[in-house]
Amino acid sequence: MRKQKAPSRWWAETEVQVQFFDLDPMEIVWHGNYVKYLEIARCALLDKIGYNYGQMRASGYMWPIIEMNLRYAAPASFGQRLLLRAEIVEWENRLRIDYTVSDAATGRRLNRATSTQVAVDLKTGEMCFASPPILFDKLGVPAP
């Protein structure tokens, strides 16, 4: 039995429609295109918390992805509407986001994924071993 986790305070959802150019020769979404869908969801989430990529750069940090895991449960096909959900689940030392890609009409889960990003100081190019105070400010939580 899978343990249910408490939902995060920081999440966003958006929808996309599968386009023809996302398909593989089997006429389902090519597995690599799910990374694009995760990026769409992540951008919606970052916009929602007021810390998108432009705002990250302006704050003196970039946040490269250092790890990504995807698990495919069912394929998506041409014209299908997908509900993309991104949720921040870890922020103290790194930014970990959980994702769910599901059929917008039925709610059936098609994909589950995670990404991990770390702060890098733009001036020095050094990786930060703790998230900078600006992230805590954007999340509305006290910095440690």
**Tens digits of per-residue pLDDT, 20-78?**
999 999 999 999 999 999 999 999 999 999 999 999 999 999 999 999 999 999 999 99
The CATH number for 88's domain is 3.10.129.10
Query: Residue 81 — very low, low, confident or very high, per pLDDT cuts 50/70/90?
Result: very high
Domain membership flag for residue 59: yes
Burial state string for 95-118 with b = 16 or more CB within 10 A and e = fewer than 16: bbbbbbbbbbeeeeebbbbbbebb
Domain membership flag for residue 36: yes
The answer to whether residue 1 scores a pLDDT higher than 50 is: no
Our count of domains for the chain comes to: 1
Q: What is the mean pLDDT of residues 129-133?
A: 95
